[in-house]
Amino acid sequence: MMPLRLDLSSDAPLSVLAIGAHPDDIEIGAGGLLLSLTGKLTRVRYLVLTGTLERHAEARAAARAFAPDAELDITLLDLPEGRFPAAWQRVKDAIEAVARLQAPDLIIAPSAADAHQDHRTIGEIVPTVFRDQLYLAYEIPKWDGDLSRPSVYFPLSDDVAQRKVELLHKCYPSQRGRDWWDDEVFLGLARLRGMECRARYAEAFTCNKLIIR
């Protein structure tokens, strides 16, 4: 299949906005994509909407680990976890505040089809705030079993796939006790998505609109 490439030809850095409801969402959903941009000229803005001080410290370290040479801006908020539909105005305000700072080339954020109410709310709001950006909605494996049919695949090298999982463990020690937090879940999903795009590993996204030039 003919691949479409991210346009990295400009002298200006590729501007990426990564949004997560919770610390670790961005890295689980798109950590391999971020790691693969290492060495490219990128400006990455992280927006994480919930978290305690401990979780925020983890998120900050994770942003630096997954985007090690990017020009990095990190915004960490403490909106009420699990309550985004009721906090809709605050979520929209937070995303609009970021939109006033930056018109990113690429947005990676959760999907409007995600079963988790916080993820889903972000996925519903993002396209109402950003009208002219490439928006790749990442997927997060979870108890609800809401994995859907992706439309965009980003193949990962073996090194990047392994490194992603290593960094997830290293950056998020608070999550290690969760019964789903393990190599098999992360690499298993990446292997399945890789199989679907004829690669060893991949991350998968949904995209409602893109432009071909």
Enumerate binding residues for Zn ion (CB under 5 A). 21-22, 25
**Which two tokens mark 94?**
């937070």
Nearer residue to Zn ion within complex by CB, 68 or 85? 85
- Evaluate whether 120 touches 139 at the Cβ level (below 8 Å): no
Nearer residue to Zn ion within complex by CB, 43 or 119? 119
Shortest distance, position 142 Cβ to Zn ion, whole Å:
8
Shortest distance, position 118 Cβ to Zn ion, whole Å:
6
Q: Measured at CB, which residue is nearest to Zn ion?
A: 22
H or E segment and range at residue 81: none
- Evaluate whether 13 touches 41 at the Cβ level (below 8 Å): yes
Shortest distance, position 141 Cβ to Zn ion, whole Å:
11
Nearer residue to Zn ion within complex by CB, 105 or 139? 139
Chain length of the chain: 213
CB-based contacts of 59, cutoff 8 Å, min separation 6: 20, 23, 24, 46, 48, 51, 74, 76
Shortest distance, position 20 Cβ to Zn ion, whole Å:
7
Nearer residue to Zn ion within complex by CB, 43 or 60? 60
